[in-house]
Amino acid sequence: MKPVAVDWFQREQVTPDLIRITEKHFDPVARANLWLLSGRDAHLLIDTGLGVSDLARYLAPLLDKPLTVVCTHAHFDHAGGLANFKSTCLHCHEADLMRRGDATAALARPEQGFNVDAYFSELPYPGFSAANYRFRPCVVQRALNEGDVIDLGDRALEVLHLPGHSPGSIALFDRAQDTLYSGDVVYDGELIDKALGCVPEEYATSMERLARLAPRLVHPGHYHSFDTQRMQALIIDYLAGRRESGCPGLE
């Protein structure tokens, strides 16, 4: 019998205006990074985790301005907690999925292999199991498109639509700081391009676009942050793997 967690979330102050939050009792391979940015006029939360513990309540003491919440895409490890928030944003290609609470498209069904009991070292609440996890629907307040800007007053983040991992995957680019919040498009681990909703050819195009963008720093949806050299290496590896599996068109 697994214990019930006392603290579900943990956080790390990365810089004075950036906090990384993780769900420490969910497997390190599967847990997402949730990024809390602070600007002059507003806070921005990028991704919301599984939604098995009240993230809005956890964040409340950290906030002294209005909060906007963006999900990089609607997979359950990023958008599971979106229903806890009011000012919500998601790419337009996944807003309907979110409204329906489509657990299959969110990869939340245990048989899909991402939401499994083995990934939980402690339970978020008594009686929890992967099988009774519910991907909660919500109406997204702002459906995002390529080029949209999220303005925090003294800093702004641009929406880059980078499909392939999922139809509505986005990254957020802070041009002034040359920093990319990349979601699941690129991180320093095994990239997922074969799950339901993935389109590897689109993924490759998105990677080529990121290689040209070459941001100084990347804060990804999983694992640790990295610099532009590491990002280029990850992209080269990804594209090489794609070619090996029989995609000569990606040269």
179 vs 182, which CB is nearer to Zn ion? 182
> Residue written as tokens 């880059």?
160
32 has which bridge partners? Answer: none
**Residue 47 engages Zn ion in binding (rule: CB under 5 A):** no
161 has which bridge partners? Answer: 170
Number of residues that bind Zn ion (CB under 5 A): 4
> Closest approach of Cβ 77 to Zn ion, in Å?
4
| 139 CB-contact burial (10 Å; exposed 0-12 / middle 13-18 / buried 19+) | exposed
Instruction: Look at strands 149-151 and 142-144 and give their pairing.
Output: unpaired
By CB under 5 A, name the one of 75, 93, 219, 242 that touches Zn ion. 75
> Closest approach of Cβ 32 to Zn ion, in Å?
5
Are the C-beta atoms of residues 151 and 52 closer than 8 Å to each other? no
> Closest approach of Cβ 102 to Zn ion, in Å?
14
Exposure letters 62-96 (e unless 16+ CB within 10 A, then b): eeeeebbbbbbbbbbbbbbbbbbbeebbbbbbbbe
Site residues for Zn ion, 217-236, by CB under 5 A, read: 221
Other residues' Cβ atoms within 10 Å of the Cβ of residue 144: 23
- Segment near Zn ion (CB under 5 A), from 94-102, 149-157, 214-222, 231-239? 214-222
Site residues for Zn ion, 177-196, by CB under 5 A, read: 184
124 vs 197, which CB is nearer to Zn ion? 197
> Closest approach of Cβ 85 to Zn ion, in Å?
18
75 vs 109, which CB is nearer to Zn ion? 75
SS3 176: coil
> Closest approach of Cβ 28 to Zn ion, in Å?
13
120 vs 155, which CB is nearer to Zn ion? 120
- Segment near Zn ion (CB under 5 A), from 55-63, 77-85, 117-125, 137-145? 77-85
By CB under 5 A, name the one of 47, 77, 94, 148 that touches Zn ion. 77
89 has which bridge partners? Answer: 70, 142
19 has which bridge partners? Answer: 13, 36
Please spell the DSSP secondary structure of 82-123, one letter per residue: GGG-SSEEEEHHHHHHHHHT-TTTTT-SGGGSSS-GGGBSSB
> Closest approach of Cβ 55 to Zn ion, in Å?
16
| DSSP 8-state assignment for residue 187 | -
93 vs 155, which CB is nearer to Zn ion? 93
Q: Which residues bind Zn ion (CB under 5 A)?
A: 75, 77, 184, 221
